[in-house]
Structure 1
C-alpha cells in the first residue's frame, strides 16, 4: 500500500520542531511521508538537520510572514501549488494566517483531496481597536479567510471563542465542519516539575508585542516593586517585525529602571521557568498559549487574562488567577496576593501540572487531530 504524502505549511521555521515536532512524529508513525514548506529555512540550520534526521523533506517557499505585497503573496500561492503537484500531496495541513490562506487555496488549485487548516490565534488584525492600518488588515484578512477556508474539509481551532467568532462573522461556511483541540499541547515528559524559588519571582515569555500584554506586565511590575522591591520580574522574548511591536526604547527604559530583567530570546525556556514561581501572560487574545502550557507542565501557578485562549488554561483560584484584559491594577493585585500569601503558589502549581497532564498532553492532542483527519 502506498504511503500518503502529507504536507505541513508553516510561516516560521522554529515552530516546526518546537510546536509541531510531536505532530510530525505522530504523522510518521501513522505511515505518512511527511514534507514541510516554510519560508526562510536555512538548509544548514539545526532545524533543517533535525527534520532531515526524521526523514522529513523540507522546502523553502517565498512567503512573507508579515508583508502586504499582493504580488509576492501570489508568488507564494503559485509556488505552493507547484510544489503540491510536484510531490503529489494527499494531505495538507496549514497553520498561522498566511499559510492557512495561501496553503488552503494552493491545495484546492492543485487538486489535493484532504485539505485542513489550523487556526492558532487571530493575530494583530483581530485584536485591539479597528482603526487605520489595523482596520484595513482586518477587512482584507476576513475576506481572504472567508474565501480560503471554504476550500477545506475541516478547520481546527484552539479555543471555542475563535471558532464561535469565525462562525459569527461567517468566515467559515456552515457546510465546513470544525473541531476545537486543546492548543498545540505540551510534551509533559520534557517539562519536569522543579522546586520553586524562595524569593517571589514572576516570568513572561512572549514576542514583544503590545497585544501580548507586555506593557501591562511592565507597569504592574513597577507597581509591585514599589511595595515589594525584592520581587523579581523577568521577561523572555524578542522584538518582532510586527506593527504592534514594543519599541526598543520602551524595553531599554524598563531595564534601566530596574523594573524588568530581560533575558532575550531563549532556545530553551525551561531554566527561566524553573527560576520563577509564577508565570504571567496578560495577553489580549490567544489561540492557546504554548508558554502557559509549558509553565503549567513545570508546576507553576499562572496569572493570565480572562480572554479567549487564555481563560481555558486557568481555573480562577485553582491553578492561578484570571484578570481582566488591559487592567494593570488587577494584574498587580493578583501578583501581590501571591507575594503576601505565598502558600497557594505550590498548590496552584501542582494543579497546573495535573491539568497539563490530563488536558494538554501533546500526544492526546495529536491523537485527536490524526483521528479527525482520518489517518488513524
Structure 2
C-alpha cells in the first residue's frame, strides 16, 4: 500500500471554508496518500489543529480571493510555482477561480500527472449580472480559457450541468475536454442531523455573505411585505459583511443591522444551531452558484427551502411532484418570494413534510460520501 501512496496538492482561496467544504474529502485522501494544502493564512486554531491531526502539510499564502490585485496575484503565482516544483505532486486539485486559473496553468508547466480543477460556480463572470463588472469578467474569461486549454492530464470538475454548458457555449471549453459533474460539495448527513422544525413561532433564515447577487435585498424586501400581514413572523440573516466588489450598500446594511425587519446574526463558525432554530431556509441567489452549501445543510437537517430558479440553486429542488422539498422563485421577484413564504405560514404541515422530503433528497443526491467517491475516481485514486 505504501508504494501506492501519491502526493496530492490542494489549492483553495479561503482557509475558513477548507474543512467545512473539503474536510471529508481530505479525510479520505489522507488514508492512502500524502496530502498538502496551499491556502491563505489560517486564523482559526480549530482548523489548523484539525489539519495537523489529519497529518496534512499546510503551506500558507497571502491570497485574497475576492479582491483584484495584480501584485498579490503575481506573488501567489510565484509561490505556487515554487511549491509545485519542490513537491512534485502527482495530483493537483485546485478549486475556486484564482487557484483554478493560476494553478492549472502552473501545474501544466510543471507537468503534474493529473490536474483536476473544480469550478464551484461561475459567479458574475458568465451572467448578465456580470456586465457591470465587465472588464474583470472579460479578463477572467480570457484567463480561464487559456488555463483550461485541453490536455490529456486535465479533468475539469463542475458542480452542476449548467456551468459546463455555459463554458461550452462561451467557447472556453470544447468537446475535446474531459469534463465531469458532481453534485456540489456534498453534505455530511451524520454531522447535519434531522431535527423537527418549529411550525409555531415560524422563522425564515437566510445564510449568505452580504452581497447583492445572493439576494440579500430581495430577502429583506420580501420580509417587509410578509410582516405587513404577519407581524409575528421572524426573519433572520446569517453571514459576513466584508469588502467585495458586489457588497450591499451601506444604507441597506444599516437597515438590516437596525433589526426592525430582519435579525442580523453576523458571521458564525457553526451554522447548525441556527438552522435547527429556523422553520424554513431561504436563498434568493442569482450569483452563479455551484450548488449552494447552505441549502444542502438545511435540507440535511430537515428544513423546507425557498430558492431562485438560477444556476446551481435549482439543483436543490427535487423535480419530483411526489416528494417536493421546496419552491423555486424567479430571480429578483420579491412578490413571488413573499408569496412562497406566506404559503408556508398558511400551510404549516408542509414545513414538516417538505423538510422530511428534503432530508431524503439530500441522502439520495448530495451525501458527501457519494460525492467523494466520484471525486476519488476522477483523481485516479480508486
TM-score class, shorter:
over 0.9
- 1:233 equivalent among 222, 230, 235: 235
Is residue 128–residue 211 contact of structure 1 (8 Å, CA) maintained in 2? no
1:1-376 map, 5 Å = 1=3, 3-29=5-31, 31-42=32-43, 45-132=45-132, 134-150=133-149, 153-197=154-198, 198-256=200-258, 258-284=260-286, 285-315=288-318, 318-376=324-382
Tell me the distance in 2 between the aligned counterparts of 1:217 and 1:64: 28
Is residue 255–residue 262 contact of structure 1 (8 Å, CA) maintained in 2? yes
SS in 2 for 1:188: coil
Gaps of 5+ in 2: none
| Residue 257 of structure 1: how far off its partner (Å) | 5.6
Is residue 127–residue 211 contact of structure 1 (8 Å, CA) maintained in 2? no
Tell me the distance in 1 between the aligned counterparts of 2:364 and 2:66: 35
Is residue 211–residue 244 contact of structure 1 (8 Å, CA) maintained in 2? yes
Tell me the distance in 2 between the aligned counterparts of 1:17 and 1:248: 31
CA 1:257/1:84 → structure 2, altered by over 3 Å: closer, same or farther? closer
Tell me the distance in 1 between the aligned counterparts of 2:190 and 2:161: 27
Tell me the distance in 2 between the aligned counterparts of 1:199 and 1:90: 54
SS in 2 for 1:59: strand
Render the CA deviation track for 1:52-91: whole Å, top value 9, x for unaligned: 1100000112423133233432221121111011112110
TM-score of the two chains, using structure 2 as the length reference: 0.94
| Residue 236 of structure 1: how far off its partner (Å) | 0.3
SS in 1 for 2:30: helix
Gaps of 5+ in 1: none
Is residue 115–residue 155 contact of structure 2 (8 Å, CA) maintained in 1? yes
Tell me the distance in 2 between the aligned counterparts of 1:106 and 1:32: 22
Is residue 318–residue 361 contact of structure 2 (8 Å, CA) maintained in 1? no
Is residue 39–residue 60 contact of structure 2 (8 Å, CA) maintained in 1? yes
CA 1:41/1:109 → structure 2, altered by over 3 Å: closer, same or farther? farther
Is residue 96–residue 119 contact of structure 1 (8 Å, CA) maintained in 2? yes
| Residue 45 of structure 1: how far off its partner (Å) | 2.4
**RMSD of Structure 2 on Structure 1 (CA):** 1.5
The number of aligned residues is 373
Tell me the distance in 1 between the aligned counterparts of 2:58 and 2:67: 22
| Residue 219 of structure 1: how far off its partner (Å) | 0.3
CA 1:6/1:60 → structure 2, altered by over 3 Å: closer, same or farther? same
Large movers: runs of 4+ above 4 Å: none
Is residue 125–residue 141 contact of structure 2 (8 Å, CA) maintained in 1? no
Is residue 81–residue 109 contact of structure 1 (8 Å, CA) maintained in 2? no
| Residue 345 of structure 1: how far off its partner (Å) | 1.0
